């Protein structure tokens, strides 16, 4: 019996994507697939092209060559497909609301959902990232770690199929960074969200499914992080 060819479509597909800027190459013939529920990291030094790669993946930048497809649809041909792509960022403009709850709800309000539904979903998103008690506070009152988590809650409000995070672990101490990454991985798995994120160092990406090295716009290789040994600890009577 002959094998049936797979018809699976990756959530994100980048096919020989290139982007040039006046000061140099941002991305050079990058090809990448990210599936639903998968977390892929990109690491490299400043001006390595990692941020450009993420902007291309999110449809914020258009490639000079190659194609970027979201669930099989070219992002350049159908801008509406970007509605299910969330880009994580930590800016909370004052005109979006005084409280954290209003700031997080802003993306859903643009989608014209019922106010009660938006309210309930906002509180659920904040609870999911451990900030349910911070809903009435102003974003300026939060610390750096809380801001990172609040930005994640806001990104979830668009019910994304693809989540793009540019250096979400920057400025966090080792423990906070590890916990935030664990949270992102858990959400990706449970909600079947494809996740693409960047970091300055490979050591920050422990726990992702794959991470890519990029330099001067060129992806140098793909690495699957080794799984840690599981140790059984016996209880002490």
What does the pLDDT profile of the chain (237 residues) look like in tens digits?
444 444 568 999 999 999 998 777 789 999 999 999 999 999 998 889 999 999 999 999 999 999 999 999 998 876 656 789 999 999 999 999 999 999 999 878 665 778 889 999 999 999 999 999 999 999 999 999 999 999 999 999 999 999 999 999 999 999 999 999 999 999 999 999 999 999 999 999 999 999 999 999 998 776 555 554 444 444 444
The model's pTM: 0.88
Beta strand spans in the chain (E): 12-21, 24-34, 39-43, 65-70, 73-74, 85-88, 162-165, 194-199, 210-215, 218-223
The DSSP secondary-structure symbol of 216 reads: T
Phi/psi region, residue 59 (left: phi>0; alpha: psi -120 to 50; beta: rest), is left
Q: What stretches of 15-99 show up as alpha helix (H) in DSSP? A: 50-58
Delineate the domains of the chain, giving CATH numbers in brackets.
12-97+160-223 (3.40.50.300)
Across 60-216, the runs of DSSP E, i.e. the strands, are: 65-70, 73-74, 85-88, 162-165, 194-199, 210-215
Beta carbons of 145 and 176 less than 8 angstroms apart: yes
Is the CB of residue 168 less than 8 Å from the CB of residue 148?
yes
């Amino acid at each position: 019996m002959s094998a049936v060819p797979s018809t699976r479509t990756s959530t994100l597909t980048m096919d020989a994507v290139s982007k040039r800027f006046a000061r140099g190459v941002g991305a050079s013939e990058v090809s990448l697939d990210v599936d639903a529920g998968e977390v892929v990291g990109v690491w490299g030094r400043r001006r390595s092209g990692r941020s450009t790669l993420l902007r291309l993946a999110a449809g914020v930048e258009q490639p000079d060559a190659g194609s970027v497809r979201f669930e099989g649809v070219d992002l350049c041909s159908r801008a509406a497909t970007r509605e299910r792509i969330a880009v994580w960022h930590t800016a909370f403009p004052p005109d979006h609301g005084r409280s954290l709850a209003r700031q997080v709800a802003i993306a859903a309000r643009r989608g014209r959902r019922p106010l009660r539904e938006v309210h309930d979903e906002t509180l659920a998103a904040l609870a999911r990232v451990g900030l349910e008690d911070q809903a009435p506070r102003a974003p300026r009152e939060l610390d750096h770690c809380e801001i990172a988590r609040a930005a994640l809650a806001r990104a979830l409000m668009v019910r994304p199929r693809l989540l793009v995070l540019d250096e979400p672990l920057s400025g966090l101490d080792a423990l906070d960074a590890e916990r935030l990454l664990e949270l992102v991985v858990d959400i990706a798995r449970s909600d079947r969200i494809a996740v693409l994120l960047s970091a300055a160092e490979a050591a920050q990406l422990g726990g992702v499914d794959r991470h890519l090295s990029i330099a001067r716009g060129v992806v140098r290789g793909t690495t699957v992080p080794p799984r840690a040994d599981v140790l059984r600890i016996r209880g002490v009577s």
